[in-house]
Amino acid sequence: MSVPPALSVQGLSIGGDPFSFQVMPGEVLAVLGDNGSGKSLLLAHLSGHLRVPAGSVKVEGEDLRAALAEVGVIFQHPGLIRNMTVFENIALPFLVHGLDLNGEIQEKVRLRMRMVGCEHLEDQEVHQLSEGDKRCVSLARALSGPTRLLIADEPVASLAPGKKALVEELLVCLVRTGVLSGIIVATQDLDFARRIATHILLLHGSSHSILSTEEAATNEHCMAFTTRSH
């Protein structure tokens, strides 16, 4: 029996040519493009935040609407709930499923805090955090609950080099060990994309192309984008 793709997109349109692509289990797709190229819009469709106007999006063979609980999302703004502590924010997906804050989720939440290196921030209010720490907490929250597919908009933006390396390593580890079936990241950082992705979806103008990371190294649009980014 064949394994269903972690994510399957058919005929999705965000204004330009319709998208059709698949992310197989164990793969990481990096969505690369200039400011305003539609990366965040594409991710909003893939995470179910915006309704898919045409075409279909399936997660592990299931329609996106039915599989939303298994999709973890890191938004462009970290979206941490302002009047909750770091611990409560990360616990939120567990609490939604009726688990008690004082019970078994304590260890689960602390594990996720250790994974992203923010265990020392447990009792802090989120408005006291730096932008980088907010990103890490947002990642930990996206990994809480029954997450199988991670959709991340600029997950390493504003992270210090040490934290960036930790997050890169974590994402690769989670997808290679099968904890996550796939990851889709939107980024403007081509080096980061090359390090963690198996494929790159390059958005340019109203068109797009899917490249392997090797092809991205020599693709003229990627090179032009890298030049502009630097």
| Residue (103 or 205) nearer to another protein, CB | 103
Strands 71-74 and 149-153, bridge-based pairing: parallel
Q: Give dist(CA 134, CA 65) in Å, integer.
A: 27
| Residue (97 or 114) nearer to another protein, CB | 97
CB of 47 to another protein, least distance (A): 7
| Residue (75 or 192) nearer to another protein, CB | 75
Eight-state DSSP code of residue 5: P
| Residue (33 or 78) nearer to another protein, CB | 78
Query: In residues, how long is the chain?
Result: 230
Q: Where do we find the tokens 């770091």? A: 86
CB of 136 to another protein, least distance (A): 15
- Confirm if 28 and 197 have CB atoms less than 8 A apart: yes
Segments in the chain forming alpha helices (H): 39-46, 86-96, 105-115, 131-142, 161-176, 190-196, 213-218, 220-229
As beta bridge partners, residue 59 has: 7, 62
Q: Give dist(CA 77, CA 68) in Å, integer.
A: 20
CB of 14 to another protein, least distance (A): 17
CB of 230 to another protein, least distance (A): 29
| Residue (81 or 224) nearer to another protein, CB | 81
- Which residues would be at the binding site for another protein (CB under 8 A)? 47-49, 68-69, 71-73, 75-83, 88, 92-93, 95-98, 100-101, 138, 141, 144-145
CB of 3 to another protein, least distance (A): 26
Orientation angle between helical segments 161-176 and 131-142, nearest 10 degrees: 10
CB of 180 to another protein, least distance (A): 16
